[in-house]
Structure formats: structure tokens, C-alpha cells
Homo-oligomer: A and B are copies of this chain.
Amino acid sequence: MNQFTFSLQATDGHARLSRFDTPHGPISMPAFAPVGTLANVKTLEPRDLHELNATLVLSNTYHLYLRPGHELVERMGGLHQFMGWDGPMLTDSGGYQVFSLAHRRSLDDDGVTFRSHLDGSSHRFTPERVMEIEQALGADIAMVLDECAEPLEREYNEAALIRTHRWAERCRAAHTKADQALFGIVQGGIFPDLRLQSAAFLTELDFPGYAVGGLAVGETKEQMYTTLDETCPALPADKPRYLMGVGAPEDIVEAVYRGIDFFDSVLPTRIARNGALLTRDGRLNIRNQRFAEDQRPIAEDCTCYTCRTFSRAYLRHLFKAKEITGLRLATIHNLHFMLGLMEEIRTAIRGGTFADFRADFHDRHTITDQAVRHAQRQKRAASAAKR
């Protein structure tokens, strides 16, 4: 019996309502996966994730490999048991972190040697080694090792794609864990012909799911959307489609519109810890002086614990006083917002009203110029760090 069944339940334009079954339960899609980098969604516990109706949780292979080590996690019964999360889990391959976070990368066709960002120790990832690590961690979904190229550079992408495809084949061959689904990752930067070539190559390898990688790391939003316009139709309709590392609400709405099924991103949890709170109207910085005596909740219509219990004035006080509880209450709110957004998206697709939902969403959701500039700076920095 196949433990990984993808069921397409409804479509609305290119948007898809679906269900992906895993050994740890079903994922209703479109879905958003909170990121628990070190086997823990920062400031939260598994009971919080259940209360927030999270289904899929991501954890980072690069980080867990370095600390506490995949072999320790395996001896402790695997990632689920170790962190006390009984729902579906996904591990990335660590490729992105090797290129964005590790020091002194040295890439060859066989793999990549790097130094730990923690202690400078030397390590080597090959496709076979990464499969060994991800299988030891034991998530429901594992990702192939890929090379995450600068999305705007044609020659870099051409060379990287050859390696990425060879590595995908090697991962496919090395992966033997029956209760873990290995997903392929389509690369090719912003170049339509490379994306199509990658989609075709990986489809031949017949993965149980496909990710679109290498986006939201340096290109404009328009370039990202255009790339999705071109890539999604080339992916098999009967497999889940995963847009990696994308978490801005407006990008999620646009990606679902183009046929993406699920997402992960540190965005809602990371900006929460900076005091940026997500609302239907855009982001609100709770540190702002204008909230000092504001007795309203973050959002009047929000049903999360934070909004049911505390005023903006109190949350601002916690942030100004650097109280840890503030980070947690903001994280709860932002994840509630994201997971609620996904629920609304699924309802709209089911009802055939996703086009209206999308238009209404953008009418109301404003991103301040400051937020846009900040996001652009972050992207440029991430892109520069990768090279």
C-alpha cells in the first residue's frame, strides 16, 4: 500500500484543492508549513502547533546534522519522537543552507565541502550522504540535494542545472526508506527554457512530488510569478507542488493562483520575533509608539489566543521590555494568520470563488514601501551571501 497518496479534490483556474496522505496523517492543500529549524518551531511547542491547526512542519537537515547530529536523532527514535510532533514532517536537503549559511564552500560534481557556521569544522555533503542523513532524521517528506544558483545568472544556472539533475538521479537511487517520500526540486533560475528542461528531466525520474526551488532569493516578485506561470504547467498534475521558502502572504496567494500546493517559510515566525504582526491590511509593527495605550487586540476579527487575551498596549510593553513571552505571543498570532489564510484559500477554491478571493485580498492587503524596501534588502543580502 502506498502511504503517500495525492488526491486532487477541486480546481479553480490553476488553483488546486488537494489532500496529500502521509504516514503521520493527511495534509490539506494549499498548505503552509511552519519552520522548526532545530527540531522546534521557535518559541512554540507541539500542543501550540496542534491548536493552530498546523499540519506539515519543516525542519532543516543542515542544522540538525550539525546539532545535535542526525545519528543522535535517529537513536532517540527519529525526528517525530525527538521533538514530540506527531503530524507530517518535511526535511529540506541542506543544500540551500550550505550555499547561504556555511563557510568556505568548495563545490565539485560529486558534492560540496563546507565549514560549519558554528565551529568552522569541515564537512562534506554528497547526494548519498544527504539521503543517509534525511533517512536517519525520518521525516515523512525528504528533499533531494540540489545546487541553489543565483536566479538571474544564465551561465551559472546552466552549469548548476546539470549538476542538480545528476544529483537528483543519485538521490533517487540512494533513497530506500519506504515510509518517506523523496521529492525532486526543479531549478533553472528565471529562465523558462531551463525550468522546462528541469521539469521534464525530473518528471522522467517519477518523484512522488516536486518542488520549485531557487526562487524568492534575489529576483523581483514579477520574475517569480512569471517563472511560476511557466513552470507549473510543466509539472505532473497528479503530484503535489511545493514552492520552497516562500511565505509572504501576497506571494502565497499568487503562487496558489498559478498552481502551487504548499509552502514553507520562516517569514511569519521570524518577523514575529521582530515585532511585525500580520493582518489582513498588511503588517503592523507592535513597537510603534502609537500602540502604547491601544486597548484593541492586534486584529479585531482574529481568534488566536494572543488576540483573545491581550491588548496592543500590553504586547508593545512586552516587546519594549524584551520579554520572551512577547516573541511567543507574536509567533502564535502570525502563524494563526498564515494557517487561517490557507484555510480561507482552500474554502475559496472549494467554492469556485478563488478569483474573487484573490482580488479582495490584494485590495485590502497593503505592503508599506518600508516593508517592500526591507524585503528587497534582505533578498539582495541573501543573494550576495550565496555567491
Contact = CB atoms under 8 A, between A and B. Distances in A.
Interface in A261-319: 292-293, 295, 305, 309-311, 313-314, 317-318
Contact of A325 (B44, B72, B292, B313): B44
Contacts of A320: 67-68
A329 B84 CA distance: 13
A30 to B, nearest CB: 27
Contacts of A76: 293, 295, 311, 313-314
B328 A40 contact: no
A40 B305 contact: no
Contact of A84 (B40, B77, B309): B309
B295 A84 contact: no
Nearest to A309: B84
Contacts of A3: none
A163 B358 CA distance: 70
Interface in A346-387: none
A67 B321 contact: yes
A328 B82 contact: no
Nearest to A327: B324
A contact residues, range: 35 or more
A187 B75 CA distance: 56
Nearest to A295: B76
A323 B38 contact: yes
Nearest to A45: B325
A223 to B, nearest CB: 35
Contacts of A305: 45, 47
Contacts of A42: 323-325
A39 interface: yes
A84 B314 contact: yes
Contacts of A309: 45-47, 84
Nearest to A75: B293
Interface string A38-79: 111111111100000000000000000001100010011100
Contacts of A43: 324-325, 328
Given A68-B320, A84-B309, 19 more contacts: A39-B314, A40-B325, A41-B325, A42-B323, A45-B328, A45-B329, A47-B305, A47-B309, A67-B317, A68-B321, A76-B293, A76-B311, A77-B295, A82-B313, A83-B314, A84-B310, A84-B314, A324-B328, A328-B328
Interface pairs A-B: 3 shortest CB-CB: A68-B317, A84-B309, A38-B321
Interface of A: 38-47, 67-68, 72, 75-77, 82-84, 292-293, 295, 305, 309-311, 313-314, 317-318, 320-321, 323-325, 327-329
